[in-house]
Amino acid sequence: MMMEQVMRQHGFTLIELMVALLIIGILAALAYPSYQAYIVRGKRAQGQAALLQLMQQQERYFSQNNSYLAFSSASTEPHEKMFQWWSGASAAQSAYEIEGVACPGEVIALCVELRAMPGTIHVDENFRDADCGTLILSSTGRHAAGGKAKRCWP
């Protein structure tokens, strides 16, 4: 009796590899937009936290000086420089540039409005928040956003 050895090839065919790549591509196409939205929401939360912290500093300044203080990234005065004008650990790693201005129709001594502007030349220029845009918090308690989304603040 003669035994025939059957040679079996080990490995994958080209079709099997193409199907696997197609499945990976579909999963990546579904996951990437969700990941991008997650990043934007995280940076937006960081911007909101920075606004709340700065408003607390402004209120402390108001209680000591009976006036709020305007500030921006271009501030040169020592009192103005004590307010951090970026949202993250450093300006280069931040998504928002923050400025403090007088509320519309008010003077800075009575009302301050903090604005967090996404992706300016002083912070991460590549960051965009198309849904909420500029985040706004005023000393009157008003919070708003410049984008098309109805709910940008928790």
Q: In this structure, are residues 50 and 87 in contact, taking their beta carbons and an 8 Å threshold?
A: yes
% of the chain beyond a pLDDT of 90: 81
Considering the chain, what is the average pLDDT of its residues? 92
- Predicted pLDDT of residue 144: 94
pLDDT of residue 2: 57
Lowest mean pLDDT among 6-10, 66-70, 90-94, 114-118: 6-10
- The 10 Å CB-count burial string (b at 16+, else e) for 85-112 is bbbbeebeebbbbbbbbbbeebeeeebb
Per DSSP, what are the bridge partners of residue 86?
A: 97
Residue 106 has pLDDT above 80, yes or no: yes
Q: What is the pLDDT of residues 38-94, one digit of tens each?
A: 999 999 999 999 999 999 999 999 999 999 999 999 998 988 889 999 999 999 999
Whole-structure pTM value: 0.82
Complete DSSP assignment for 5-42: PPP---S--HHHHHHHHHHHHHHHHHHHHHHHHHHHHH
